[in-house]
Amino acid sequence: MKRFLEGGPVMSDIIEWSSIKKRREEVKNLYPSIFRVPVIYGKKKQIINDILSRTTGKVLDLGAGDRFVETVCRDMHGIDYRSMDPDRSGFHDYYSTGDIAERFDMVLLLDVIEHLTLDKGAELLHKCGPLMNPGGTLVVTIPNNNHPTAYAGDCTHITSYRYHEIGALLLLCGFKDIKIFRVSAREKFKDRLLSFLFRRVMKFMDVDFATGILVTAKKP
């Protein structure tokens, strides 16, 4: 049976339904519902800027696309940026995770794994661990599928994750200290007013105003 990494767990060990169910219940003990997950307000670039401003060391941007994170890093001291993306139409430091020999203090997976199948997404999350220094931080963003259109608005999306499911996969991949946030680019006052006026309807329908989910996790 195919392994993610030499000596690592086989694929079925990670995506087995009973394993995911057990771990997602652990996450739900921390965040009983989507409405108990704290909200971060701001545009994507602003939020990543805030995260990186508290970071030093090597940063790896997996699935980097247009390398917009590099533009954030340029004005910061103490950050050594690298990118990986299989798309060779643009420049990247690496085009395959198998080519990466460095170890990083932070790994970013920004709006990536929803474009992969469940097994490929779990495989990529598992591969992040060996690329990180002990105590390093993994940052993952995905669409919030409690929002009416956040996931459905892109035809290239393949796998939809609820907040506790992405947390469960990270636990199964050996990460600790899982922290989950909802992300909204709207102005704080408008979202608070919307949430206040329609909170009962939104909870009844299990619908959220925040379009994104951001998760941080630590490598032991």
- Contact at 8 Å (CB) between 127 and 219? no
Q: What is the mean pLDDT of residues 43-52?
A: 93
Alpha-carbon dihedral 68, 153, 23, 100, rounded to 10 degrees? -30
Percent of the chain with pLDDT over 90: 69
Indicate whether 201 pLDDT > 90.
Answer: no
Q: Which domain holds residue 62?
A: 11-218
Q: How many domains does the chain have?
A: 1
Task: Give, rounded to a whole angstrom, the gap between the first and last alpha carbons of the chain.
Answer: 27
Print the SS3 string covering 164-218. Answer: HHHHHHHHHCCCEEEEEEEEECCCHHHHHHHHHHHHHHHHHHCCCCCCEEEEEEE
156 in any annotated domain: yes
CA Rg value for the chain: 17
Q: What is the mean pLDDT of residues 17-34?
A: 92
* Structure confidence at residue 202 as a pLDDT band (50, 70, 90): low
Indicate whether 209 pLDDT > 80.
Answer: yes
Cα–Cα distance for residue pair 209/195, rounded to 1 Å: 7
103 in any annotated domain: yes
More confident residue, 218 or 8: 218
CATH code of 54's domain: 3.40.50.150
3 in any annotated domain: no
The residue whose two tokens read 């800027």 is 49
Print the SS3 string covering 107-137. Answer: EEEECCHHHCCHHHHHHHHHHHHHHEEEEEE
76 in any annotated domain: yes
130 in any annotated domain: yes
75 in any annotated domain: yes
201 in any annotated domain: yes
Cα–Cα distance for residue pair 133/6, rounded to 1 Å: 18
- Contact at 8 Å (CB) between 105 and 73? no
State pTM to two decimals. Answer: 0.87
Indicate whether 9 pLDDT > 50.
Answer: no
Q: pLDDT per residue over 56-101, tens digit each?
A: 999 999 999 999 999 999 888 899 999 999 999 999 999 999 999 9
Indicate whether 6 pLDDT > 70.
Answer: no
157 in any annotated domain: yes
Q: Which helix (H) or strand (E) holds 57?
A: strand 57-62
